[in-house]
Amino acid sequence: MDTYEVLVEQENEERVENQIRIDSLPAIEVNKISVEDPPDDVEILAGPRQFNEGDELPDEYQELLIKLIYNHAEILDSKPYAAMIESQWQLAQKMAPTQLDLMMMARFHYEELNHGFIFSKILRGLGVDFENFELRQYLFEYDRQDWLDLAFHHFLASKVGVMQIAEWNDMSYGPVANVVPRVFREERGHAGMGYRHLREMCADEKTRKEANERIKTWWPMTLDMFGRSDSTRNKRYRAWGLKKHTNAQLRDAFIKDTIPQIEALGLDVPDHLENRRFL
């Protein structure tokens, strides 16, 4: 059983206990995403959940762990991140088409703030100083103009988040591995919410044409979230049990799985290299 299937099984078990989920959020079925086996090109230096808060960590390990969380997690102590989440909520209050959509966004707002709180707490346990903390994904700095932009963000960026979080299942740092099932489950819902909203809007021919233009901006920003294909840091992440796959493997799997979903909306998939910053 691979990582995605394990996490989905855990999700199914926990759903019985979690009665406050919004049932109308269709989750992206990431257990069907096929990622190639990781290359056997690093010496493994740490096993699953080997380290916990308060342990004396190797210097390289601690530096990499902080960078990984800093680059890929939601962090409430990051003022730009908190401002981004608040701006999405304000936009939703103005533009949500229905009360159900607004309720979904309220739930999204809560869950994202909670994710930020969780990872901020983990970083504080590592002694991180949050002064001058900035967003590390330029997609998050993009000015969202309307409900269509929000839908693209939630579908594409949250789906990337799902894949990144799955990498941390049974990672070598216990406090992160422990929160993966919950964050994984909720990010799947966020991606599903975004896709639901896109499907509703793309049913209208005029909006679909506009979406076909917008995706030219959102697609390269999304693919860049995986990082550089030739990243040397990725090898160190994998050596220390902080990630499982290469950036290129995750990006390729994302592209292959997402193309049919985009085409089902009646949209054209942009060139995978056009307007990219990190190849």
Closest by alpha carbon to 176, among 43, 40, 53, 8? Answer: 53
Domains, in order of start, for the chain: 51-264 (1.20.1260.10)
What tokens does 70 get?
A: 């800093």
Chain-centre distance for alpha carbon 48: 21
Contact call for residues 48 and 240 (beta carbons, < 8 A) = no
User: For residue 51, what are the β-bridge partners?
Assistant: 173
CA distance 194 to 93: 16
Q: Residue-wise pLDDT tens for the chain (279 aa)?
A: 567 776 766 666 555 444 334 434 444 554 567 889 999 999 999 999 999 999 999 999 999 999 899 888 888 887 778 888 899 999 999 999 998 889 889 999 999 999 999 999 999 999 887 665 565 677 777 887 899 999 999 999 999 999 999 999 999 999 999 999 999 989 988 998 999 999 999 999 999 999 999 999 999 999 999 999 999 999 999 999 999 999 999 999 999 999 999 999 999 999 999 988 988
CA distance 67 to 253: 23
CA distance 168 to 69: 10
